[in-house]
Structure 1
Amino acid sequence: MSLCFQPFHYASKIKCCVRKHTRSQSQGRKNPSLVKVASAETTSTSFLHKQSSDALVGPGNGIGIIGGVSIDSTLSFAKRLKDLLLEEEGSSPPFILCSDPSLSKELSSLDRRSSSPFSSAKTEADCSTVVENLRRKRAFLDRTGVCCVVMPCHISHSWHDEIKEGCSVPFLHVGECVANELKQAQLKPLESGSPLRIGVLATNPSLLPTIYQEKLESKGFEVVLLDKATEEHTVIPAVEALNRKDFEGAQNLFKIALQVLLMKAVNRVILASDHLEQLLPPEDPLWTKCIDPMDALARSSLKYARSPETGK
């Protein structure tokens, strides 16, 4: 497992990284700031029972991040936090990032299989192992002195409530963050007399009810999804094309799926997949109609870190 600590005003993305069994003691001595983190990592069980005075971050304004399916997507989320700070020229809360390659591999395997419900005994056992692993990481971050914990991974959010249980600090939910931002935007329905519609595009439809649909509907939005036939002829082939490195083909199929939803008078479309988020160039005008949910999660975590309740 890797543990990363980052004060945002430093130039690099990740300033201090500790990897279990991969750094020699002599390497650790080169940077005294690593000593305390290394102790927490290599003796995590005893660390979880230490007093709050041993917290790794300062006045309770740090952000704890649990890594997800890939280290790339996890570091991408950390970069979002840094980019938002640069845009806003705001203060710099630190973050602690906890990433586990073995967990990432398990999550990736489950993500590939989860187009159908987790029904087999083997898969249920796999899920139980993953949830317990995620709970340990949440408990570790909970004890480090962070003001909130985030999990920038859609598949991990399948078990958000189970992982959250017992957490002493807010454990932000990406669906709630998106729904709250949409509510605050005070959008108007595109069709007179109709409810305000929000589209959701996902490569894993089985995750939609618990992650987005319930959260959006609780705020009064009507959730619009692709029908199964359109999904099978656009979204699924788009991901397959992306896996073959056929970016042009993937983009074309993705844009067809996006246009189908937009024709249903949706105000915005949530891109509920890391795969889909990379299929629109940053300058594409379609972005004005899309929502990257991890951006909403990043904004919410920064907002919470800066709130008066954190002691800032």
Structure 2
Amino acid sequence: MNRAIGILGGMGPQATVDAMNKIIKHTPAHCDQDHIPVVTVSIPDIPDRTESILNHNDKPLEKMSEYLKILEKAHVGCIIIPCNTAHFWFDQLQQRTAIKMISIIESAVNFVQAQNISEICILATSATISTQLYQTKFTQKSISCVVPSYDLQEKIMKSIYAYKSGNIKNSKIIMSEVIKEVNKNRKIKFLLACTEIPLILEDNILNSPENFIDATDLLIQTAINWYQSSPSEHCS
């Protein structure tokens, strides 16, 4: 069996559970033993990533670095972070560990490029948008991307925080309004670049799966491909 996939989670807890569920869903297994080993650290006291970025502090980095050591001690083979905004510190985290880290940003951008998608709308936190974590990568690949207007971005954040606080119904209503507004003048594919958004839009995705690209899903598939392509380790 290969070394486990390590999940640096807790940002938020539901998104972490969703990532774990997607590993199970995408693994071709016929029994328990066929599934991929996973070590998950889901300690939700990591400071709010969006607030920290907008306030120009690195408080989440210190907490994530601390919990990274738990995964190191568990001898995982790779590490994923099911939080797009946390990837603002991705390079710094990678510098602090010798374990391979797989980027949700790279996974999503590579998929969009491989699908020859010429234009995409990014739905993400205000921090992910303002730091241009995706826009920079898409520009490098000559892929056109658009972001919601200021007013719609405010609604997206309201929806995300409503979901995190347990107000699921209101969260879904607000995000659906955003989708309708963006689609009012033209149809466009949406990149769901916040790990809560695929959960908020689960009904919309079921009805029109071709309109949405789930970055979490792509991260998980990249991690599974890593696991399946890694040489097996045997005890001697």
What TM-score, normalized to structure 2? 0.80
CA distance in 1, matches of 2:148, 2:30: 36
Matched, 1:198 2:140: no
**1:246–1:138 Cα change, 3 Å:** closer
Bigger Rg over Cα: 1
**1:88–1:291 Cα change, 3 Å:** farther
Match of 1:118 in 2: 55
CA distance in 2, matches of 1:258, 1:229: 13
Q: What secondary structure sits across from 1:105 in the alignment?
A: coil
Match of 1:71 in 2: 13
| Structure 1 residue 134, shift from structure 2 partner | 1.5
CA distance in 2, matches of 1:71, 1:105: 10
**1:217–1:259 Cα change, 3 Å:** farther
Contact 2:152/2:178 (CA < 8 Å) preserved in 1?
yes
**1:82–1:221 Cα change, 3 Å:** same
Match of 2:71 in 1: 141
CA distance in 1, matches of 2:86, 2:6: 15
Q: How many residues align?
A: 228
Structure 2: unaligned runs, 5 residues or longer: none
Per-residue displacement from partner, 1:224-269 (whole Å, max 9, x unpaired)?
Answer: 001113333x43454466557361x543432232233345656421
Percent of aligned pairs with the same amino acid: 17
Per-residue displacement from partner, 1:89-110 (whole Å, max 9, x unpaired)?
Answer: 995331111232xxx12334x5
**1:144–1:105 Cα change, 3 Å:** closer
Match of 1:11 in 2: none
Mean Cα deviation higher: 66-75 or 219-228: 66-75
CA distance in 1, matches of 2:120, 2:109: 10
Q: What secondary structure sits across from 2:39 in the alignment?
A: strand
Query: Given residue 217 of structure 2, which amino acid in structure 1 is its aligned partner?
Result: D
CA distance in 2, matches of 1:88, 1:254: 37
Per-residue displacement from partner, 1:67-86 (whole Å, max 9, x unpaired)?
Answer: 13233321221111011114
**1:267–1:98 Cα change, 3 Å:** same
Matched, 1:311 2:219: no
List structure 1 segments (4+ residues) > 6 angstroms apart after TM superposition. 87-90
Contact 1:68/1:107 (CA < 8 Å) preserved in 2?
no
Matched, 1:177 2:107: yes
Contact 2:61/2:93 (CA < 8 Å) preserved in 1?
yes
**1:200–1:78 Cα change, 3 Å:** same
CA distance in 2, matches of 1:286, 1:186: 19
Q: Looking at both structures, which has the greater relative contact order when contacts are Cα pairs under 8 Å and sequence separation is at least 6?
A: 2
Contact 2:7/2:80 (CA < 8 Å) preserved in 1?
yes
Query: Given residue 75 of structure 1, which amino acid in structure 2 is its aligned partner?
Result: V
RMSD, aligned CA: 3.0
What TM-score, normalized to structure 1? 0.63
CA distance in 2, matches of 1:85, 1:149: 17
